[in-house]
A and B are shown apart, each in its own frame.
Chain A
Amino acid sequence: MSRHDVTLTVNGQRLSAETDARTTLVDFLRDELRLTGTHTGCEHGVCGACAVILDGRPSRACLVFAVQADGAEITTVEGLAPSPDSLGILQDSFWEEHALQCGFCTPGMLIAAHGLLAENQDPSDEEIRDAIGGNLCRCTGYKQIVDAVRLAAERMRKANVPGPGQ
């Protein structure tokens, strides 16, 4: 089995490690880079818990081998807040609406919503549901998540923040 040096820019930081060809991007982030905010729920591309922003778009990190992503820019849940002791608007809106319970799907949900708000600052509920439609949550029934994304969009429009960033 071939081994590979993989360098990623994760949340603005260049990070490298050597890994097996078969290591998925999510395992690489979690096990090699110790960024455990991104979760594995099914490892076969259905649940969305492992979603990260890969080269600008939300993607499933269990369906990409780490070696394939060599050189890529990646945003994970750990990169959504402006600083370690604060939350971004989207995260804060999730908190305000209690858009989570166990928190396990939450990183993927945030990434999916982040991807949506980067493109669309005034999404309809249907567009929100479509954007998070590939992310399964067993706690919330999705309602408070939809409410939170809508609230985040409103706040960002009011604050005139370009994109969901900070």
Chain B
Amino acid sequence: MTDFRYIGKKRRPSEDRRFLAGAGRYVADLSRPGMLHVALVPSPYPAATITNIDTSAALALDGVNAVLTGDELAAASEPLMVGVDAPKVIRYPLAVGRARYVGEWVAAVVADSRALAEDAAELVEVDYDELPAVHDPEEAVEPTSTPVHPAHGSNILFRRQFVWGPVEERFSAAAHRIELRARWHRNATVPIETFGVIAEWNAATGLLDVWASIQMPKFPDQIARALRLPGNAVRVHFDVDVGGSYGVKRGIKHAVLAGHLARTLGRPVRLIEDRLENMRGGDMQGPDRIFDMAVAFDDDGTVQALKIRALDDAGAYTGRAPLQLGKPVGAIVGPYRIGAVAYEPISVTTNKTPQEAVRGFGQAPTNFALETAMDRVARHLGMDRLDLRRKNLLRHDEFPHTIPSGSTYDSGDYHTVLDKALRAAGFETLIAERDAARAAGKIAGVGVSCCLEPSGGNSAFEPLFNPKNETTTWMESCTLKIDLNGAIVAGMATSTSGQGHETLVSTVVGEVLQRDPDGIRAIHVDSLNALPGNSPVGSRMAIMLGGAAAGAAERLKADLIAIAAHNLEVPVEQCEYRDGDVHAGARSMSWAQLVEIAHRKIHRMPPGMQPGLQASFVMDVPTGGGLPTEDGRVQMYPCYAFETHIVTCEIDRVTGKVSLGRYVVGHDCGTMINPDIVHGMTYGGIAHGIGAALYERFTYDDHGQLIAGSFVDYLLPSAHEVPDIEIVDHCTPSPLTTFGQKGSGEAGYLGAPAAIASAVNDALAPLGVDIATLPMTPPDIADLIAAAEETE
């Protein structure tokens, strides 16, 4: 492997410092002169016709500037984007005529302070006629169900039966078949910062400035389109620090609402969700899925074919929710050699909060279902689950490997990673300890999971799920300049929510230009100054922003060499670039000299070269560009990172409470740009996965009321619940990327729920019961244990 100077080395992330000093600049920290504050009036009903809105009492309150209703906003704006071909599923920031979930924004109140806005919101009188609602996705999939959007005609947003390979033939021929159902309930990444936005309209310049806590592809374009403004009339400031996102900070409806208010009121408007608004009306809840799986396999454990039906509850509207069924197509067989797959993704509407993108974009639930199936196959055969996995895992020499659904996996060494993790965990000892605990009357288990993190984030699921959408690129860009004093500034077209993009860019640029990254400033330019980008989704930034930064740096390096060659009067090929200086034999030109020439001495520049030192690079997704075949095969993401989790648990026989013990994860995301950053995201992803497996659920009651709508009832794991975690690194470079890097931002979350479920089921196995529903709460597990003990 290439020996890097800065990449892969310990380096303190540059952005950490400001956060540690309390000098982060989050949207709620910003204040604009004359700024007004928004509070929302939520629907108390899951489905109701809005018959009248009386705003007079609210408007009469001192300090209240405006109350906006859905009808008014709809008249002045375009509907929000729909991710699939469902043009009648119309959505505006405020409900128009009909409320479709509890917490849906029905009106917005603008006042001098947030407290006053809340006072006034209570005074907005809304008359509703309650309508029949649909809460259960299995009911929603039926043609007889009450449609959430009558104009759409049914609750089915997307449904397609994909068949890739000889599925039925293999099911008929296989020695064994099992079926199972796996249930993934709604959770989300729930950042500690809620979503917030400030919008300010300048009538004199015709410019809408937007500061937002954002992680959203094409955010400025969507705001402009919805507000009927030209794209160059919206300036999104990407230098706002974002207090965590992990997928969910999309905020289009918030920004359109605030933008409209700022424009009509002529004053800056701030909308910072409070936690209640965030949980019920922030539209950030994640996938909510029922998997019906069938597996066909041989006596020796070779898995021949899979059938997967994934029914997903998208909630009341369709943003990008259905597409979260699309990304898993790119790794639909996981890390295994499975030659035939049938996949039926179904996305339905119900009267619940709309679903939004969550870390992994649907991959974590799919991995959970796949790994649950693998454990069941092993149990069915009485086969060791590691042997089963080793049998089916792709071997190092099988890459690149194309799976039935059309994606080619770039590289991997799954067996080595698995073995390294097992060794680090002392797997045999863990099993012996488990058995000793069982002998002492305890309920103990060891869990294993193997899974992939597709990375590089193109959007091939868009054309796959909507033939009218021919998006085939999902570019990212970087601008770079060396100033007159020789300092380097890199610009990126995105905000950051903790992934360390400033460090990523400065490290990569430093690597290419052989300059100390600590002296390189990486900034977030605003959307009018930025080249196109698609935000840090899909574990793509190491690949895409890293690639763009490297591309721009290579261009500057070439310029420096060209200037030196011209001045030294030698061919470029005789020049050697070292630490920013350029050498030709015994002669050389220093960085300072070259910079000086570029900025001041055009007469010493090669003919035709522009003055100054600046470059930009717009990177296209490696392997991108293809549209799906008729049977729905497409290259989804370019790079595939691998992870394997090993976790032990003990279950309290009485209370059903699960305690996690040892936690080891083997992780291969190719070349790591900054190991501390990669490790940090992996630890955090595992903590998310622990939440999904054991604690977190947006629970609704039978009447569609969200009853886990605060941090009292929606349970985020604390330092007590997350055990110490050990990461075992391995590096199989990607052949497709600049430095061999793959993506890693979703690591941990993708495999932890499956591994913990595996551990719990291993523990329960001697009792003859199992559970395939997440989260697994103490009462759920205790009820199973009690039932098992009763039948004994």
Contact = CB atoms under 8 A, between A and B. Distances in A.
Nearest to B23: A37
Nearest to B243: A104
Contact of B115 (A20, A47, A100, A133): A20
Given A103-B243, A141-B684, A98 B676 contact: yes
Contact of B22 (A38, A133, A137): A38
Given A76-B22, A104-B193, A141-B725, A42 B275 contact: yes
Interface centre among A44, A46, A107, A143 (most CB of B within 10 A): A143
A98 B12 CA distance: 7
A136 B499 contact: no
B485 interface: no
A23 B242 CA distance: 25
Contacts of B17: 87, 95
B710 interface: yes
Contact of A95 (B20, B189, B241, B244): B20
B368 interface: no
Contact of A77 (B22, B241, B243): B22
A87 B21 contact: yes
B680 interface: yes
B192 A104 contact: yes
Contact of A145 (B19, B685, B719): B719
Contacts of A38: 22
Contacts of A133: 718-720
A84 B22 CA distance: 11
Contacts of A100: 16, 19-20, 498
B778 interface: no
B191 interface: yes
A59 interface: no
B22 A107 contact: yes
Interface stretch (B24-32, B291-299, B334-342, B542-550): B24-32
Contacts of A22: 115
A121 interface: no
A22 B29 CA distance: 20
A60 interface: no
Given A42-B710, A46-B712, A103-B241, A138 B684 contact: yes
B579 to A, nearest CB: 27
A42 B712 CA distance: 10
Given A39-B193, A87-B17, A95-B17, A101 B24 contact: no
A43 B710 CA distance: 10
Nearest to B711: A46
A80 B22 CA distance: 9
Interface string A56-92: 0000000000000000000011101100100100011
Given A96-B12, A139-B684, A101 B274 contact: no
Nearest to B725: A143
Given A44-B275, A102-B498, A132 B711 contact: no
A100 B720 CA distance: 18
A111 to B, nearest CB: 10
B343 interface: no
Given A43-B275, A100-B19, A103-B16, A138 B718 contact: no
A87 B18 CA distance: 10
A105 B718 CA distance: 12
A107 B23 CA distance: 10
Given A41-B192, A101-B680, A138 B687 contact: yes
Contacts of B31: 34
Interface string A23-65: 1000000100011111111111011010000000000000000
B97 interface: no
A78 B23 CA distance: 8
Q: Which of B497, B683, B719, B720 has the most CB of A within 10 A?
A: B719
B622 interface: no
A138 B681 CA distance: 10
A139 B244 contact: yes
B13 interface: yes
A118 B194 CA distance: 31
A123 interface: no
Interface in B488-535: 497-500
B28 A95 contact: no
Nearest to A23: B115
Nearest to A112: B719
Given A22-B115, A37-B22, A102-B243, A134 B275 contact: no
Given A39-B26, A41-B193, A144-B683, A102 B241 contact: yes
Given A98-B16, A140-B680, A104 B191 contact: yes
A133 B244 CA distance: 19
A138 B716 contact: yes
Judged by DSSP, the binding face of A is loop
Contact of A105 (B22, B192, B194, B500): B192
B246 interface: yes
Contacts of A92: 20
B589 interface: no
Contacts of A87: 17, 20-21
Given A41-B275, A142-B722, A102 B191 contact: yes
A139 B498 contact: yes
A36 B718 contact: no
B719 A138 contact: no
Given A46-B712, A141-B725, A98 B680 contact: yes
Contacts of B776: none
Interface in B106-147: 115
A132 B718 CA distance: 8
B724 interface: yes
A6 interface: no
Interface in B196-254: 241-246
B244 A98 contact: no
Contacts of B12: 95-96, 98
A129 interface: yes
B244 A142 contact: no
A146 interface: yes
A103 B246 CA distance: 14
A139 B115 contact: no
B688 interface: yes
A34 B28 CA distance: 11
Contact of A142 (B26, B497, B687): B687
B121 to A, nearest CB: 15
Nearest to B675: A98
Interface string A10-30: 000000000010110000001
B544 to A, nearest CB: 19
Contacts of B26: 36, 39, 104
A47 B278 CA distance: 14
Given A103-B241, A133-B720, A139-B498, A44 B28 contact: no
Contacts of A134: 718
Given A39-B26, A141-B748, A103 B192 contact: no
A156 interface: no
Nearest to A101: B498
B710 A142 contact: no
Contact of B500 (A41, A43, A101, A128): A101
Nearest to A145: B719
Contacts of B370: none
A125 interface: yes
Contacts of B725: 141, 143
Given A39-B26, A77-B22, A101-B499, 20 more contacts: A22-B115, A37-B21, A40-B28, A41-B192, A41-B194, A41-B275, A78-B22, A81-B21, A94-B20, A101-B498, A102-B498, A103-B24, A104-B192, A104-B244, A130-B719, A130-B720, A136-B716, A139-B244, A142-B718, A142-B719
21 contacts: A39-B26, A40-B28, A44-B711, A98-B676, A98-B679, A98-B680, A102-B19, A102-B242, A102-B244, A102-B245, A103-B19, A103-B243, A104-B191, A134-B718, A137-B684, A138-B244, A140-B680, A140-B687, A141-B687, A142-B683, A142-B719
The 4 closest A-B pairs by CB, nearest first: A37-B22, A103-B19, A104-B243, A102-B498
